[in-house]
Amino acid sequence: MEKLKQSIILFDLDGTLTDSAEGVIRSAQHMQEKMGISKWADDDLKFIVGPPLMKTFTEDFQMNREDAQRALEFFRERYATVGLFENKVYDGIPEMLESLRKKGKRLAVATSKKEETAVRILKHFGIDGFFEVIGGDNREIGRDTKAKVIEYVLETMKANKGDAVMVGDRKFDVEGAHLIGIPCIAIEYGYGGREEFEACGADYIGATPQSVVDMF
């Protein structure tokens, strides 16, 4: 494969930089208890990790907007205090980020997670310094989709779209990147899989953090 030339690399957070499944699932179960609905098993809630929560609550849980907003508040009640640290950085991530920086790449985060929470997580694990911009969900100002987050990050970096690429682990990363007009590298060590990536048209697929470095 010919080496990629983009100098700006945007990373998803959950399932791409960190394995956050435990905290997300526990917080979803907390939400279910608070909403008075039966609590699902861990395995049945794995799908919730990664996608925008409002989309998950309205579509997968079939809630109306009002109930979905309540569910989001209950989820964040636990996640903001406990769940965000039930989390770990994937093996090889700091080395990947360091190697890309040495290649002269500009790095940023574009996540569907609430922005202030993303900043807290990255600081907690000591990897926030790798990124010029940490962009996330801010629905108070209408930044509530993956595409809008990506667009915000690129605008903040004063980046040319032709010089940027997204890295993520779910179809939502690929679809968000394509809506903005940039390619996406899908990684297999997170929560998605090759079948999902091929179905949504991922531009490149990598198996490990090192495989991302090797693409550049």
Digit-coded pLDDT (tens) for 173-204: 999 999 999 999 999 999 999 999 999 999 99
What are the pLDDT digits (tens) for 127-141? 999 999 999 988 888
Task: Read off the CATH number of the domain in which 126 is found.
Answer: 3.40.50.1000
> Do residue 80 and residue 115 come from a single domain?
no
Task: Quote the pTM value.
Answer: 0.89
Overall average pLDDT of the 97-103 stretch: 98
Overall average pLDDT of the 131-153 stretch: 93
In a domain, 97, yes or no: yes
What's the farthest any 2 CA atoms get from each other in the chain?
A: 53
> Do residue 119 and residue 203 come from a single domain?
yes
> Do residue 106 and residue 65 come from a single domain?
no
> Do residue 80 and residue 95 come from a single domain?
no
Main-chain phi, psi angles of 154, to 5 degrees: -65, -40
Overall average pLDDT of the 55-62 stretch: 91
- The domain boundary, picked from 38, 62, 85, lies at 85
Overall average pLDDT of the 149-177 stretch: 97
pLDDT beyond 80 at 151? yes
For 120-173, give the DSSP string.
Answer: HHHHHTT-GGG-SEEEEEBGGGTB-SHHHHHHHHHHHTT--GGGEEEEESSHHH
> Do residue 117 and residue 182 come from a single domain?
yes
> Do residue 56 and residue 14 come from a single domain?
no
**pLDDT on residue 178:** 98
Domain span including residue 28 = 21-85
In a domain, 199, yes or no: yes
Q: Please, what is the average pLDDT of the chain?
A: 95
Instruction: Count the domains in the chain.
Output: 2
**pLDDT on residue 166:** 98
> Do residue 72 and residue 174 come from a single domain?
no
- The domain boundary, picked from 62, 85, 108, lies at 85
In a domain, 94, yes or no: yes
Angle, to 10 degrees, between the axis of helix 65-79 and the axis of helix 21-35? 130
184 and 177 Cβ atoms separated by less than 8 Å = yes
> Do residue 64 and residue 45 come from a single domain?
yes
| Annotation says 12 is catalytic | yes
Percent with pLDDT over 70 in the chain: 100
pLDDT category at 55 given cuts 50, 70, 90 is confident
Of 12, 19, 169, 173, the active-site residue reads 12
Nearest residue to 160 via CA among 4, 7, 3 = 7
Overall average pLDDT of the 53-59 stretch: 90
